[in-house]
């Protein structure tokens, strides 16, 4: 098997190692390319389900946004249910959508949520749900489940209203209100991306941010740890799981329908079949 060589490294490394945050113009170019890729996946009913900065690579050494590649499709799945929902929870904690945590069934919009987290991080230099290195896994996952976003940090003053609007729409806790990938690529922020500021965001603000480099890496590590160290699930009989109960209902209904059909056939067969004469009549001689 031969795969494309991606010499530019991970998007995560660029987020952590750059001394200055990227400009809005650069962030818009990156996000636009990612959304177009996800839009293509979703048009084929495929959900990636683990879109993180570590799973996005640059093919070119210079970090050209047009060379971005989405990798690691180990959790990817094509929708097969009649309602288009996926049931198996697969995620990296920092980028997981609330509906995935609730295990209530989720669709391809969970990928948009993950890109919303990435957009927030690229614009501000810090993650939306990990506030510091001392955050516990439960605290991080609780914030993800609540879906509440704060835009009170001074860095947001240097970010355009259109960018803020897109972040809010991509991180809407309700998947039914959340923008789709198709809607997101048509957002007005991308309509004038060529005229967006091309100076690093922290220079626009005029003061350094303390969430680049080490602290950003620490917050990302804490959120990855939240996923792996979450409270273990209590083992119960297989039959008590939601999936087993759902399948049992299907089996019971199928057996019921089968019995109803069989009984109806028997009644119909009894009604239409000719009455068989008694055995004595079959052997009696006919009188002349």
> What is the Cα 144 distance to its own chain's centre?
13
Q: Which of 42, 57, 208, 219 is nearest to 113 (CA)?
A: 42
Q: Which of 36-40, 45-49, 131-135 has the lowest mean pLDDT?
A: 131-135
- The helix (run of H) or strand (run of E) holding residue 58 is strand 56-58
DSSP state of 160: -
Q: Specify the pLDDT at position 234.
A: 59
pLDDT in tens, 179-213: 999 999 999 999 988 888 887 776 555 444 444 45
Helices (H) and strands (E) in the chain, counts: 12, 5
CB distance 45 to 79 below 8 Å: yes
Do 224 and 243 lie in one domain? The reply is no
Kindly state whether residue 288 falls inside one of the protein's structural domains.
Answer: no
Return the CATH number at 140.
1.10.510.10
The number of domains in the chain is: 2
> What is the Cα 176 distance to its own chain's centre?
13
Do 144 and 268 lie in one domain? The reply is no
Distance between CA atoms of residues 197 and 195, nearest Å: 7
Domain that holds residue 112: 9-228
Kindly state whether residue 58 falls inside one of the protein's structural domains.
Answer: yes
Do 183 and 214 lie in one domain? The reply is yes
CB distance 48 to 1 below 8 Å: no
Q: Which of 95, 122, 128, 129 is nearest to 110 (CA)?
A: 95
Mean residue pLDDT of the chain comes to 74
Do 99 and 186 lie in one domain? The reply is yes
Here the tokens at position 64 are: 């050209």
**Arithmetic mean of pLDDT, 161-171:** 94
Kindly state whether residue 97 falls inside one of the protein's structural domains.
Answer: yes
Here the tokens at position 160 are: 């355009």
**Arithmetic mean of pLDDT, 242-264:** 69
Do 203 and 279 lie in one domain? The reply is no
**Arithmetic mean of pLDDT, 228-245:** 62
Do 176 and 246 lie in one domain? The reply is no
pLDDT in tens, 67-102: 999 998 887 887 665 444 444 444 444 555 554 544
Here the tokens at position 55 are: 């799973």
Do 57 and 177 lie in one domain? The reply is yes
Q: Specify the pLDDT at position 19.
A: 47
Contacts of 154 (CB under 8 A, 6+ apart): 205, 207
Do 189 and 124 lie in one domain? The reply is yes
Distance between CA atoms of residues 149 and 164, nearest Å: 11
């Amino acid at each position: 098997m031969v795969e494309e060589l991606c010499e530019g490294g991970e998007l995560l490394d660029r987020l952590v190692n750059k001394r200055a945050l990227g400009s809005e113009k650069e962030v818009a170019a990156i996000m636009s390319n990612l959304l177009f890729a996800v839009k293509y996946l979703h048009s084929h009913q495929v959900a990636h389900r683990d879109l993180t900065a570590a799973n996005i690579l640059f093919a070119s050494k210079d970090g050209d946004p047009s060379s971005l590649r989405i990798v690691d499709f180990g959790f990817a799945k094509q929708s097969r249910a009649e309602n288009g929902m996926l049931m198996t929870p697969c995620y990296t904690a920092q980028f997981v959508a609330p509906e995935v945590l609730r295990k209530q069934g989720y669709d391809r919009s969970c990928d948009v949520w993950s890109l919303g987290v990435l957009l927030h991080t690229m614009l501000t230099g810090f993650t939306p749900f990990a506030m510091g290195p001392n955050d516990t896994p439960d605290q991080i996952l609780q914030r993800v489940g609540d879906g509440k976003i704060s835009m009170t940090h001074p860095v947001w003053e240097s970010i355009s209203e259109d960018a803020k609007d897109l972040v809010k729409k991509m991180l809407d806790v309700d998947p039914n209100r959340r923008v789709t990938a198709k809607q997101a690529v048509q957002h007005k922020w991308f309509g004038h991306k060529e005229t967006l500021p091309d100076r690093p965001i922290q220079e626009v603000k005029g003061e350094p941010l303390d969430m680049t480099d080490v602290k950003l890496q620490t917050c990302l590590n804490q959120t990855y740890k939240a996923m792996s160290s979450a409270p273990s699930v209590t083992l119960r009989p297989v039959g008590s799981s939601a999936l087993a109960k759902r399948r049992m209902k299907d089996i019971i209904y199928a057996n019921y329908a089968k019995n109803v059909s069989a009984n109806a056939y028997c009644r119909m067969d009894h009604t239409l079949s000719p009455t068989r004469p008694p055995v004595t009549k079959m052997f009696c001689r006919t009188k002349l």
